Amino acid sequence: MKKKIGNQNVLYPMPVTIVGTLVNGKVNFLNVAHVGILNAGAPHLISLGMGKRHHSNIGIREKKTFSVNILSQNQIVEADYVGLVTGSTTDKSGVFETFFGELKTAPLIQNCPVSMECRLHDINELKTHDVFIGEIMATYAEDAVLTGGKVDLSKVKPLLFDMSSMKYWSLGQPVGDCWNVGKQYKKS
Ligand SMILES: Cc1cc2nc3c(=O)[nH]c(=O)nc-3n(C[C@H](O)[C@H](O)[C@H](O)COP(=O)(O)O)c2cc1C
């Protein structure tokens, strides 16, 4: 029998993302795992749940752009670091090599597998959090993580985040084809 364990959010693991912003002219990064995909088609909208006190929020409001970068497991130290210290007191601009894409004000990480640059679409202001909704305007991927022009997770080796264990996790193996394996269902 199942045991009731309160109202815990068990929607983990989540992908670890590193969000890049330009705050008062300075590049800043923070770790954001509470991300969402709002739809699968165009416009490609994603959400970031970010505590109101974060320094990065100032830059998103100011420039109306941000980047979302996926790091590999071998970048775990840098990923955690930008989630430990705030740009309001620590300069995090040199943690990653950066470049600017077509939006010009969303710093993207050069040395990571995949990056997306987003234009701010909307802000949902909650009591403690800003939910930033962004539209993905361009996506950049290292050649080494592509298979047939598509991002290959087995090559990206993304970091995953789990709140209950407070640990970073890695991805396992694929276990079935979506929109396909269900065809094997037989009514019992
Ligand atoms: C693994 C991990 C995941 C995090 N996820 C989030 C998140 O989803 N939302 C959030 O507001 N802060 C999150 N944080 C905390 C921020 O990254 C952290 O407070 C950061 O220092 C804020 O940086 P800033 O003040 O320079 O913007 C996370 C931190 C870590 C280490």
- Res 138: pLDDT: 98
Residue nearest to atom 29 of ligand 1 (CA): 83
What is the reported pLDDT for 114?
A: 98
Amino acid letter for position 73? Q
Rg, C-alpha atoms of the chain: 18
Nearest to 169 by CA among 182, 157, 178: 157
Integer Cα distance of 38 and 30 in angstroms: 21
What is the per-residue pLDDT for 166?
Answer: 98
Chain CA centroid to CA 107, Å? 14
Average pLDDT in the chain? 98
Q: b/e for 125-149, b at 16 or more Cβ within 10 A? A: eeeebbebbbbbbeebbbeebeeee
31 lines ligand 1 (CB under 6 A): yes
Question: In the beta sheet, which residues pair with residue 46?
Answer: 37, 134
Residue 103: its pLDDT value, please? 98
Which ligand 1 atom is at minimum distance from the Cα of 83?
Answer: 17
Low pLDDT (below 70) residues in the chain? none
Per-residue model confidence as pLDDT tens digits over 66-117:
999 999 999 999 999 999 999 999 999 999 999 999 999 999 999 999 999 9
pTM score = 0.98
CA–CA separation, 42 and 89 (whole Å) = 38
Domain boundaries, the chain: 14-184
Q: Of all protein residues, whose CA lies closest to atom 4 belonging to ligand 1?
A: 32
* pLDDT for residue 75: 98
Which tokens hold the place of 46? 């994603």
Contacts of 162 by beta carbon, 8 Å cutoff, 6+ apart:
12, 13, 169
pLDDT value of residue 100: 98
**Cβ atoms of residues 137 and 48 within 8 Å:** no
- State whether the beta carbon of 63 lies less than 6 angstroms from ligand 1: no
The predicted structure's pLDDT at residue 51 = 98
d(CA 50, CA 25): 20
Task: State the distance from the centre of ligand 1 to the C-alpha of 17, rounded, in angstroms.
Answer: 10
CA distance 14 to 16: 6
Ligand 1 within 6 A of CB of 21: no
Per-residue model confidence (pLDDT) at position 82: 98
Residue 63 has a pLDDT of 98
Specify the pLDDT at position 67.
98
Q: What pLDDT is stored for residue 48 in this prediction?
A: 98
User: From the CB of 54, is ligand 1 less than 6 Å away?
Assistant: yes
Q: Which CATH superfamily is domain 14-184 in?
A: Electron Transport, Fmn-binding Protein; Chain A (2.30.110.10)
